Structure 1
Amino acid sequence: MPFPEGFVWGAASSGPQSEGNFHKRHQNIFDYWYATEPTAFYQEVGPDLTSNFYNDYTNDLKLMKKAGIKALRLSIQWSRLIENFETGDVNQEGAVFYQKLFTAMKVAGVEPYVNLFHFDMPFELQHQYGGWQSKHVVDLFEKYAQRAFELYGGQIDHWFTFNEPKVILDGQYLYQFHYPNIVDGPTAVQVAFDINLASAKAIAAFRKVNTNPNATIGTILNLTPAYAASDDPRDQEAARIAELWSNDMFLQPAIQGKFPSALVDLLKNDHVLWDATENELALIASNQIDELGVNYYHPFRVEAPDVSPKSLQDWMPDIYFKEYQLPGRIENVDKGWEIYPKALYDIAISMRDRFGNIPWFVSENGMGVSNEERFLDDQGMVHDDYRINFMHDHLAELLKGIEAGSNCHGYFTWTAIDNWSWKNAYRNRYGLIRNEIHTQEKTLKKSAYWFNQLSRENQLPPSNFELN
């Protein structure tokens, strides 16, 4: 079966993972972390060069076209665009870079989908104010967003406020895999509210200054239904709370303008509810998204915790649920992630039935594999049939959801070109295009040819695809 007419075939990336640090005025938190603790990063590889998109974007876009990529989801770096965070004055060199990049994308026939924040808090704002712990930083983000809309509104039809806000909570404030590596559940709750508020303020700024009749604004969330380990009522309750915390805490404000009442009651009863004013709640209520980007990689399976949440312990969201590993699962062992394509169908039905069938698209889906050199042939091509199978099986489930009436209009794989991945650096490769990081030589993998046929024909090629 074909995908709907006009379905968008794209790839996703981010500024801090692809551009490199060339001519940046400020550090973000990963720049600072690497500069002060390089041993925290795999093989001590940092974000200085990444995949050199800052210098190579013209040639990179040509390779993307050969891979059938018709749209690229990328991000502006707050630390590159803005010179003075307090006033919102722009750095001219950074502003010109993005203007030239977006122009080059249009010329190349690669539609830009532009995200404003992809984990890369300017270090100065983290150090001085605590980053998203501060509502002053929320106001500064609004200024930055408005500058971006004013500068590039005529070039960009698809804007997004955040990428995966839940990962900001998990990495920075709960589980210590993003700087500043804090473990503080109540602070994570406040940060969750502040990010929702920042997104709403950016949307309000967009509505105020946008003059492009084709432009929309959304957000990008990593989603999966919370699957209970069993029918045991305790496991079912764990899944209910996990769904509230992991998905609905960002979905409902973005789409419906309100927080889930059951989550608010739980946080209030635990005396950890965020600080919020009536005006802030009203602003969130009146600034919903136009479309949703959904990142999906692996399922979220939970069971009842070993220790009752009523025990004397520091508050963390996972006092109510414990992650569960399904016995006999198919797994990407390089990441430790279960491969479960049916979740994309479940997400599609959830969007249809729970969230008003909002327009949405798969904004990230992909497979990271270590040591892909083992799959190189004599001509230097990576034969990544595992990646083809992964995309094929997920797209087959997505198509079932679309046929059932879900309003999904695109699929973006992570990623176009192998890029730098935070603490993991280049340990796992995700690209349709291989990047030899020591020489920056970039070549199409087998999956790129498969994706080209998918994009060209707008229907699934077989998973046992062979090159002509």
Structure 2
Amino acid sequence: MVKREEFLRENDHNENSSVSRSDFPPNFVFGVATSAYQIEGGCKEGGRGPSIWDAFSHTDGKILDKSNGDVAVDHYHRYMEDIDLIAKLGFEAYRFSISWSRIFPDGLGTKINDEGITFYNNIINALLERGIQPYVTLYHWDLPLHLHETMGGWLNRQIIEYFAFYADTCFASFGDRVKNWMTINEPLQTAVNGYDTAIFAPGRRENARIEPYLAAHHQILAHAAAVSIYQKKYKEKQGGQVGIVVDCEWAEANSDKIEDKSAAARRLDFQIGWYLHPLYFGDYPESMRERLGDQLPKFSEEDKKLLLNKLDFIGLNHYTSRFISHVTESDAGNYYYKVQETKRIVEWEDGETIGEKAASEWLYVVPWGLRKVLNYVSQKYATPIFVTENGMDDEDSDELQLHEMLDDKLRVRYFKGYLASVAQAIKDGVDVRGYFAWSLLDNFEWAQGYTKRFGLVYVDYKNGLSRHPKSSAYWFSRFLKAGENKNGKEE
């Protein structure tokens, strides 16, 4: 097992390291991120059609606190207030997602919803008026329900055409002002949690050996089809760039044994290689083919031509890390983890946890992991990277006073440590172009409902959804505005 002090010394990690804006290149982008279903609400307003998350969240037993995103934090009506907050805090970019069913209520592209186009035009214009650059995600898990119910959604190859048409419409409608596009957010979560563990919409567990890999396959091809359209029709005129957003915990081998090192490498293949390998090398990682065989769909020669050169940048969502050891008999409760033959470990050799624990059971504060995963992605795929999500959650509490909820000291430590890790990766030679904190607002945290709070800004669910910046928001504001002490480092 890994010895803590020795490891941290060897990896040049100081848990108390300070960080300032000057540790980053002048053109480095700092922003905040959100997603449509988690914040918008207005579920039946403005011509919006239902999504799979509307149906899933209204199904008994699916959401921890029995809540849903019908109102969420009412960004649909309060977007100007929220954009003013972004500007006031000093962020220069805002990553948000478009709700597909707000543009095409049935997902099919038969009739464009002008009210949806107007809503996002208003957001984009308000951002630009305040000097904030929009970074737009086309798909953040909220598939139009009609596509799932009538054709099986991501399990049907025809979804590629529908997604491409939707993307084309967004490029045409917003691309004169939006220069940074992300096609699909965390396709891994859609595939595994939507079609294996069933803890996310659409909540299927019918065939965990086939369906997650089919859903992933079609998401990869849908991404490539959308980028192909952008390259042919819009890139020369609009001058933007398009990437995909993948999520990855760092996997650190739990010992120097070759089987543990192989297990850690395999774990990374199953997380990030699953999506990036096809886009760089035309096929899935060998370790996946070995373990899954014919359960992994095959790319045709035509598919492979479509896939290549379909990334201007990689969006990386990263929250935490794990030690990994090899096991022949996994006790994982779902097929995706079982077939990897790995064990995820959250303790050092001395029994101390890998980092301080956040509210979610899976989230530990492990800043050094971000530097490692950035170096790994850079060396393997050699493409500019944006850290498109990074953050931690607090438990919602009825017992704490508002001022106690706002004093989020652990989140401040989290951001200090992880930003220092990004700065170190840049010094290592990694081409990191930007960083987006997750999230601007406390919001609907998927299967956890409103029990977890990831926001820089506290949302008072009991008092009119009023917004209150937390200590972490003010820390970021000072950091961005380069408030420095005598040492030249952010206090």
Q: Residue 389 of structure 1 aligns to which amino acid in structure 2?
A: R
Q: Which residue of 1 aligns with 2:46?
A: 23
SS for the counterpart of 2:406 is coil
Q: Which moved more, 1:244-253 or 1:392-401?
A: 244-253
Q: Which residue of 1 aligns with 2:111?
A: 89
Residues 164-179 of structure 1: pairs in structure 2 closer than 5 A: 164-179=186-201
Between the aligned partners of 1:354 and 1:92, the Cα distance in structure 2 is: 42
How far does residue 13 in structure 1 lie from its aligned partner after superposition?
0.5
Residue 324 of structure 1 pairs with residue 345 of structure 2: yes
Q: Residue 326 of structure 2 aligns to which amino acid in structure 1?
A: A
Q: Residue 49 of structure 2 aligns to which amino acid in structure 1?
A: H
Say which of 415, 424, 434 aligns to 1:410.
434
TM-score by length of 1: 0.91
Q: Which residue of 2 aligns with 1:241?
A: 266
Residue deviations 1:167-214 (CA, integer Å, cap 9, x gap): 112211222211232231222122221111111001011112215443
Q: Which moved more, 1:296-305 or 1:337-346?
A: 296-305
Q: Compared with structure 1, are the counterparts of its residues 140 and 267 closer, same or farther at alpha carbon in structure 2 (3 Å cutoff)?
A: farther
Q: Which runs of 5+ in 1 are unaligned?
A: none
Say which of 372, 375, 400 aligns to 1:346.
372
Residue deviations 1:382-419 (CA, integer Å, cap 9, x gap): 11111110000011111111112111121110011111
Q: Residue 355 of structure 1 aligns to which amino acid in structure 2?
A: Y
Between the aligned partners of 2:49 and 2:396, the Cα distance in structure 1 is: 33
Q: Which moved more, 1:42-51 or 1:17-26?
A: 17-26
SS for the counterpart of 1:162 is strand
Residues 55-454 of structure 1: pairs in structure 2 closer than 5 A: 55-183=77-205, 184-210=208-234, 211-254=236-279, 256-263=280-287, 265-266=289-290, 270-285=293-308, 287-307=309-329, 316-319=336-339, 320-326=341-347, 327-329=351-353, 330-336=355-361, 337-356=363-382, 358-371=383-396, 376=401, 382-438=406-462, 439-454=464-479
Q: Which moved more, 1:381-390 or 1:10-19?
A: 381-390
Contact preservation (8 Å) 1:2, 1:460: no
Say which of 32, 37, 54 aligns to 2:76.
54
Contact preservation (8 Å) 1:372, 1:382: no
The percentage of aligned residue pairs carrying the same residue is 26
Residue deviations 1:248-267 (CA, integer Å, cap 9, x gap): 1112233x252245146415
Residue 40 of structure 1 pairs with residue 65 of structure 2: no
Between the aligned partners of 2:161 and 2:299, the Cα distance in structure 1 is: 14
Contact preservation (8 Å) 2:396, 2:452: yes
Residue deviations 1:412-437 (CA, integer Å, cap 9, x gap): 10011111111112111111111112
Q: Count residues with an aligned counterpart.
A: 456
Between the aligned partners of 1:321 and 1:275, the Cα distance in structure 2 is: 25
Between the aligned partners of 1:301 and 1:460, the Cα distance in structure 2 is: 37
Q: Residue 350 of structure 1 aligns to which amino acid in structure 2?
A: Y
Q: Which moved more, 1:114-123 or 1:381-390?
A: 381-390
How far does residue 230 in structure 1 lie from its aligned partner after superposition?
2.0
Between the aligned partners of 1:345 and 1:149, the Cα distance in structure 2 is: 33
Q: Compared with structure 1, are the counterparts of its residues 53 and 227 closer, same or farther at alpha carbon in structure 2 (3 Å cutoff)?
A: same
Q: Which residue of 1 aligns with 2:12?
A: none
SS for the counterpart of 1:226 is strand
Contact preservation (8 Å) 1:417, 1:433: yes
Q: Compared with structure 1, are the counterparts of its residues 24 and 234 closer, same or farther at alpha carbon in structure 2 (3 Å cutoff)?
A: farther
How far does residue 314 in structure 1 lie from its aligned partner after superposition?
9.5
SS for the counterpart of 1:185 is coil
SS for the counterpart of 2:394 is coil
Residue deviations 1:33-90 (CA, integer Å, cap 9, x gap): 22333x4223222101111111101111111222222211000111111145334531
How far does residue 291 in structure 1 lie from its aligned partner after superposition?
1.2
Q: CA RMSD in A?
A: 2.6
How far does residue 109 in structure 1 lie from its aligned partner after superposition?
2.1
How far does residue 373 in structure 1 lie from its aligned partner after superposition?
6.5
Q: Compared with structure 1, are the counterparts of its residues 67 and 315 closer, same or farther at alpha carbon in structure 2 (3 Å cutoff)?
A: closer
Q: Residue 371 of structure 1 aligns to which amino acid in structure 2?
A: D
Between the aligned partners of 1:117 and 1:458, the Cα distance in structure 2 is: 36
Q: Residue 112 of structure 2 aligns to which amino acid in structure 1?
A: V
Q: Residue 387 of structure 2 aligns to which amino acid in structure 1?
A: V
Contact preservation (8 Å) 1:88, 1:143: no
Q: Compared with structure 1, are the counterparts of its residues 131 and 84 closer, same or farther at alpha carbon in structure 2 (3 Å cutoff)?
A: closer
TM-score by length of 2: 0.87
Q: Compared with structure 1, are the counterparts of its residues 259 and 457 closer, same or farther at alpha carbon in structure 2 (3 Å cutoff)?
A: farther
Contact preservation (8 Å) 2:251, 2:264: yes
Q: Compared with structure 1, are the counterparts of its residues 351 and 235 closer, same or farther at alpha carbon in structure 2 (3 Å cutoff)?
A: closer
Residue 14 of structure 1 pairs with residue 35 of structure 2: yes
How far does residue 101 in structure 1 lie from its aligned partner after superposition?
1.3
Q: Compared with structure 1, are the counterparts of its residues 56 and 228 closer, same or farther at alpha carbon in structure 2 (3 Å cutoff)?
A: same
Between the aligned partners of 2:243 and 2:485, the Cα distance in structure 1 is: 27
How far does residue 456 in structure 1 lie from its aligned partner after superposition?
1.6
Contact preservation (8 Å) 2:250, 2:370: no
Contact preservation (8 Å) 2:378, 2:430: yes
Q: Compared with structure 1, are the counterparts of its residues 334 and 277 closer, same or farther at alpha carbon in structure 2 (3 Å cutoff)?
A: same
Between the aligned partners of 2:335 and 2:411, the Cα distance in structure 1 is: 39
Q: Which runs of 5+ in 2 are unaligned?
A: 1-21
Between the aligned partners of 1:449 and 1:114, the Cα distance in structure 2 is: 25
How far does residue 315 in structure 1 lie from its aligned partner after superposition?
5.8
SS for the counterpart of 2:244 is strand
Q: Residue 276 of structure 1 aligns to which amino acid in structure 2?
A: F
SS for the counterpart of 1:200 is helix
